[in-house]
Structure 1
Amino acid sequence: MKQSEKIISGLQQDIVLPDIVLQKADDAFSRILAENEKGKQPAASQGRGKNSRHKKRKRFPVWARGLTAAAAVLIAAFGICAANPVMAAKIPIIGHLFSLLQDKISFSGDYTGYAEPLDGNVQTDPETGGDSSVTGNRGTSSYSQTVNGVTVTLSEVYCNQEALNISLIIEGNEDFQDKIMTNQFGKQSLFLDMDTDFSFRDTPVMAGSGNIEGSFLDARTYAGVWRLDLKDVLFDVSEIDRMTSEAEAKGEEFVVNQEVLDKYGKMLTLPDEFTLNIDLKRIEGMLANPPEIDWGMSKEELEALSDEDFQALHDRIFEKYGLNKHPNAMQHYWFEGPWTFTLPIKVNTANNRTISVNDVNEAGIGLESVTVTPFEIHINEVYLNHDKADYFPVVLDAQGKYIDSAGSDAAFLPVADHDISRITVYLCDYLEYMDELKGLKYEDNFRELLEERAVYKKEVVLE
């Protein structure tokens, strides 16, 4: 599949483009990739995490930037039957969202005893004195705000040493279920455009993607869980940001590579308790039925255009339809905020444990430790004189079953439906894994292939 087709297919039915437009775009894409390979790749604050495998992510050309922002919301959400007996009985859900969604989210499991209601108790309906329900009465809460007729209610929080999870409900000012795109998995998803400020950091941090997993409870009410891997929050790059700003002020280029991250970045300690400030600026979703673009000429006429004329046409079209802005009415449905919240967070370390491994092979590749929580495994790799982006971790459970990553980082793995009494960790060459092994991960001989191809292997007993 061509690069341009990958982008468009990833967006599903986002924007309908003629074949010749894809061809033109693919040519431009290939040229830019070739140019990027020749020069340095400066990194400012984008590569926040020391553990990021950002090196392999290709930079999109100008023509595609109006489309790629929309792709961020294409993650799997999870359906809840409209005839759900819980909903039919109108059992209160504020303070109980994890119970409703815990089998539907990527890091699934029983959150009972782990997720805590933010108010510390069941909310009360001011009219009846009973529990508030999904009818719209939220009771009185500092964790529920209405802006422009849209109500956002934060329900519960669960934070362990690896991830922060917050459940929430979004009540629109109109029916919007049918406006949100259903992705290739038959699910609907929303995206939270927000800033987060953690009290144990000196500066705010742009961490996580803002994607929430969940589903519509009715035509205008969406319930979901936002999960944030804490690795980026705990990795402080403020000194690197300062150095980058100084270089830019002097008109100099400052390249952030692994050596710079290792030297000037520092890991913070997660406190037992902290405060999180959330500034939720916008809630977004992909349009289910986006309008088509009128390019103003036939396929043959488009094909006859020179690269320069095509780029000029492209720029005019993007300006005309607002595709150079995010969000835009051609691709997105959204609610404007802001909704602001201040949350007290207590870290729950129950059933969290870290197994030290400290094993490195002759090539300087190995495993430092494995952290286990009730819902995830975190693989902490070691790469001495190697770029982490050049390798990919693969983990098999005690039964030899492949454990698929559920988040943006392949080192974070859900434990549900797996025997994790022991695991086997394989570290593979990134390109070899992506090109040759990834498509075989569910085949019977996958373990044998890993035994032959992996550059490192280690079995770790977890129980």
Structure 2
Amino acid sequence: MQEAYMREYTNQEYRDVLRNTSLNSPLVDEKLAQVYGKIRREEKKKKGRRMKKVFAGVSLMAASFALMIVFCAANPALAAKLPIMGSFFKEVEEKVSYKGDYSSRSEKLIPESGTEEGTEESAEAESPYVQTDNGATISLGEIYCNDMALYIGIQIKTEEPLSKEFIEESMGQWDYSTIGIHSTATADVAESVGLAFSDGLGMPSPYFIEGAFEDDCTFTGIIRIDASEFVEDLTPDYDGEITVENWDEHFRRIGMPDKFQYQLSIDKIFDSYTWTGDYDHPGEHIQIPECIEGNWNFTLDIKKDNSDCIVKEINERDENGFGIAKITKTPYEIQAEAILPEGESMADYFVAIRDAQGKPLESQGGYAEIYNIYQRDVSKVTVYICDYVTYMDECQAENWENLPEKAVYAKEITFEE
């Protein structure tokens, strides 16, 4: 286990890395613009041919944390004995912010105990999904991918018990645990959309895992990668500033590809972030109190499963220019795409959704405007667009009943069962 280390960052680069920071959509857009701009500038320093790229793996926190990714040369994976184990999804799928019965839809990467594949003979085989380095074994047990997200079931086992502080820090203010990972990711989506990543360019990637500790040596969790994080670089030679206002001129969202290969490399595992410093002054720090370093490299072949996913094209607006373009519903999440009057910015508005009983849906962990619908009645929903400041000050949490009065737009949408 490595000692704590510190790294300096300027001004507000990591304002929203803190785990107790609210993840609100304007900040998502701002961080997306910042991180893609930084990645592009770094790429210009690299030698070799320039390729058209797709960036993936960005969430609000991931976008912030991606700025501190250290690009390192590929190392061969250290294959491990194939364990016989239960479903990672089943163990923790109701112990994360993005709850769902993923185990009922997942593709298994590692045989479960009690199955024909989960035999003593199979235990002697080597698996590319189980890798050990520096006293820690990381296993990727199963995957599930739909129109809105890719979910990866993961387990981390350490030879030595993790400290009491490590486990307690991971709990934070939630009813589940969150541990950090420092990672890089690439994806090949050529088969689906004719684009591919250029190896070694580096890109934003997952940086946290939600889940639970089984004991002081075992953490099981789920990584969620949002579909909005797959984007194409339209102007690779542009050397100017990337902002929220000009982001659409330089990048195009391609959505979740039907089939792609996803490569994930993890080189650090840690317990929490501690911010020290002043938001209004440079010299902010991110402190990682307890850290395990190693090299765990995985390649996953992903195929999207769109069963029970619905995309409703609405494309309606009122006399003031507010409206809904479309609404996407998967078995676990729902998201509405707003239409605003010309000249207005989404940074100034917030999209909220209520279920069939009129109760507010809860945001899942990474994006404030993607809502968890697991075990909720969403046969009918109401979508609201509200001024951002008004929503934050007067309509969220215990003030949710103010939303119909304060919203600038509302629309009821019914899903046929």
Contact 1:95 1:118 in 2 (8 A): no
Deviation at 1:362, TM superposition (A): 2.7
**Aligned match for 2:271, one of 285, 293, 305:** 285
Is 1:347 matched up with 2:304? yes
Q: 1:53–1:173: structure 2 CA closer, same or farther, 3 Å change rule?
A: closer
SS in 2 for 1:398: coil
**Aligned match for 2:316, one of 345, 359, 366:** 359
Cross-structure match for 1:116: 107
- TM-score, structure 2 as length reference: 0.71
Which stretches in structure 1 are left out of the alignment for 5+ residues? 13-41, 70-91, 133-137, 248-253, 294-306, 316-322
Cross-structure match for 2:184: 195
Q: Where do residues 427-438 of structure 1 align in structure 2 (5 Å cutoff)?
A: 427-438=385-396
Cross-structure match for 1:143: 129
Is 1:256 matched up with 2:243? yes
- The letter of the residue matching 1:144 is V
Cα distance in 1 for partners of 2:37, 2:289 equals 24
Cα distance in 1 for partners of 2:325, 2:412 equals 13
What do residues 55-86 of structure 1 show as CA deviations (whole Å, max 9, x unaligned)?
A: xx9xx9xxxx9xxx9xxxxxxxxxxxxxxxxx
**Aligned match for 2:404, one of 451, 454, 457:** 451
SS in 1 for 2:362: coil
Cross-structure match for 1:228: 225
What do residues 272-325 of structure 1 show as CA deviations (whole Å, max 9, x unaligned)?
A: 2210011112111128xx9xx9xxxxxxxxxxxxx9xxx9xx97xxxxxxx85x
Cα distance in 2 for partners of 1:343, 1:44 equals 25
- More off after superposition, 449-458 vs 204-213: 204-213
Contact 1:177 1:216 in 2 (8 A): no
Cross-structure match for 1:370: 327
Contact 2:309 2:331 in 1 (8 A): yes
Q: 1:208–1:451: structure 2 CA closer, same or farther, 3 Å change rule?
A: farther
Q: 1:128–1:367: structure 2 CA closer, same or farther, 3 Å change rule?
A: closer
SS in 2 for 1:212: strand
The structure whose Rg is larger is 1
Cα distance in 1 for partners of 2:97, 2:84 equals 20
Cross-structure match for 2:95: 104
Cα distance in 1 for partners of 2:59, 2:343 equals 15
More helix by share: 1
Q: Where do residues 38-57 of structure 1 align in structure 2 (5 Å cutoff)?
A: 43=34, 45=36
Cα distance in 2 for partners of 1:399, 1:429 equals 24
**Aligned match for 1:211, one of 208, 211, 214:** 208
Provide the identity percentage. 28
Report how many aligned residue pairs link the two structures: 341
Which stretches in structure 2 are left out of the alignment for 5+ residues? 1-11, 21-32, 40-54, 69-82, 190-194
Q: Where do residues 60-459 of structure 1 align in structure 2 (5 Å cutoff)?
A: 94=85, 96-119=87-110, 129=120, 140-176=126-162, 178-180=164-166, 181=169, 182-185=171-174, 187-200=176-189, 201-203=195-197, 206-207=203-204, 209-233=206-230, 235-236=231-232, 238-240=233-235, 242-243=237-238, 246-247=239-240, 254-258=241-245, 260-268=246-254, 270-286=256-272, 324=285, 328=287, 331-383=288-340, 384-442=342-400, 446=401, 449-459=402-412
Cα distance in 2 for partners of 1:428, 1:172 equals 47
Contact 2:183 2:205 in 1 (8 A): no
Contact 1:123 1:139 in 2 (8 A): no
More strand by share: 2
What do residues 311-348 of structure 1 show as CA deviations (whole Å, max 9, x unaligned)?
A: 9xx97xxxxxxx85x5x5xx421111221111111111
Cα distance in 2 for partners of 1:102, 1:217 equals 14
Q: 1:127–1:357: structure 2 CA closer, same or farther, 3 Å change rule?
A: closer
Deviation at 1:261, TM superposition (A): 2.2
What do residues 120-178 of structure 1 show as CA deviations (whole Å, max 9, x unaligned)?
A: 7769999981786xxxxx96211011111211010000000110000111011310151
What do residues 15-42 of structure 1 show as CA deviations (whole Å, max 9, x unaligned)?
A: xxxxxxxxxxxxxxxxxxxxxxxxxxx9
Contact 1:214 1:224 in 2 (8 A): yes
- The letter of the residue matching 1:242 is D
Contact 2:323 2:409 in 1 (8 A): yes
